[in-house]
Amino acid sequence: MSTSVRTNESVSATPPPIAKAPGWAVSGSPLTAHRSPLLLFEHVSKWYGPVLALNQVTLELTGGITGLVGANGAGKSTLIRLATGQTRPTVGRVTVGGIDAWDWRARLLVGYCPDHDAFYEDMSGREFVHTMARLCGYDRREARRRTEAVLDRVGMSDRADRKLRGYSKGMRQRVKLAQALLHDPDLLVLDEPLSGIDPVGRQEQLELFRSLAAQGKCLLISSHELEELEKLTNHVAVMARGRIAAVGTLQQIRDLMDDFPLSVRVDVDRPRDLARRLLDVPDVIGCDVGGEEGSVVVRATHPRRFYEAFGRLVVEEMIEVRRLEPLDDTAHAILGYLLGGSGKT
């Protein structure tokens, strides 16, 4: 698989784009004042016996929502386990806010929402969260206060008295999120938080994540549901075969993939004329008019330059563009290319 994607060293040095838009205000937490990244992996490798799960992973998170995507077996769960301090790296260091992740003090900063449910099915939701609060070390009054606060945050206050056994998938997710929020952590690690939830519940979960990020928390979400992830965030870390294949915004990653020229669909009244004109643009390497009626699919390198040139061409020639749609720069397509597929469904 020879894509010339610049990996770890250069791309991950770019911090995620935070706080440019309204609603993403950074909280006044003392941690951000320290300037150490919330989650830092430094050349981490991890073996389980002879099996290499993580291979020289370097990752830095300072805030916002980051998606963690990759095929099954790529090392995502190992990475999460290392970040939450469940295991130690064989080589390298994992730190949370400057503290080694294995240290118990680091757990104060991390909230973990695992993908399996490990509930005591006989308890009610409220009892369960209260028990977790007590386990965190809070006394009874504080635990009760926090339980109510957190159940309110996830929207389960009225439904939390039924036994966990009868909960739907969406309700279970909320309870898991609630217990992760008990100690008000700065870093939330979520493993497959959207699986098995119906679209209505999924919207509510996404809203919740957005509001948590707006509060200033850093979220690391591992998910297979790329469409939903794209709605939430632009910043992803792609894992493959135990390594971080790429980190950055989807646009950055796509723009780096020189081996795979961008395919863009353009709908105009006279596609062949447009095709002829486009072939004069230096970045265009091919035009396809055989597809849908009235459309031409352009293949181009250097996306940004191409778009600039295209914009100028449209204004010069007064072309009425009905549609301009890149066909393969969704997270799905990018993942497909990176993992050796064709990028198409």
Partner 1 sequence: MGQPPLIDLHGITRTFGAFTALHGVTLQLPPGRTGLLGPNGAGKSTLLKILMGLIEPTSGSGRVLDQPLGGDRDSAANWRLRRLIGFMPEAEALVPGLTGIEYVGLAGELYGMSRRQSQRRAHEVLGYLGLEEARYRNVEEYSAGMKQRVKLAQALIHDPPVLLLDEPTSGLDPAGRDALLNLVRELGTDHGKSVILSTHLLADVQAVCEQVVILAGGVVRGQGTVEELCARRADRFKLRVQGEVAKFRDDLLGEGVTVLADNGHGELRVAVPAGWSNLAFFKLAGCNDVVIRALVRDDETLEELFLRTVNA
272 binds partner 1 (CB under 8 A): no
Question: Binding partner 1 by CB under 8 A: which of 5, 287, 303, 328?
Answer: 303
C-alpha distance across the termini of the chain, in Å: 19
Of residues 236-255, those binding partner 1 (CB under 8 A):
249, 251
Q: Cα–Cα distance between 32 and 61 in angstroms, integer? A: 12
Q: How far is the CB of 320 from partner 1 (least distance, A)?
A: 6
256 binds partner 1 (CB under 8 A): no
Question: Binding partner 1 by CB under 8 A: which of 9, 23, 30, 280?
Answer: 23
Q: Which residues contact 16 (CB under 8 A, 6 or more apart)?
A: 61, 62, 63, 64, 66, 235, 249
281 binds partner 1 (CB under 8 A): no
Q: Spell out where the chain has E strands.
A: 39-48, 51-61, 65-70, 91-96, 99-100, 110-113, 187-191, 218-222, 235-240, 243-249, 262-267, 284-288, 295-300, 323-326
Q: How far is the CB of 139 from partner 1 (least distance, A)?
A: 37
Of residues 142-201, those binding partner 1 (CB under 8 A):
168-170, 195-201
Question: Binding partner 1 by CB under 8 A: which of 26, 31, 71, 285?
Answer: 71
By CB atoms closer than 10 A (0-12, 13-18, 19+), residue 182 is buried
Residue 145: how many CB atoms within 10 A of its CB? 12
Q: How far is the CB of 210 from partner 1 (least distance, A)?
A: 10
Q: Which residues of this protein are in contact with partner 1, per CB under 8 A?
A: 17, 20-24, 69-73, 168-170, 195-203, 224-227, 234, 249, 251, 303-304, 307-308, 311-312, 314-315, 318-326, 332, 335-336, 339, 341, 345
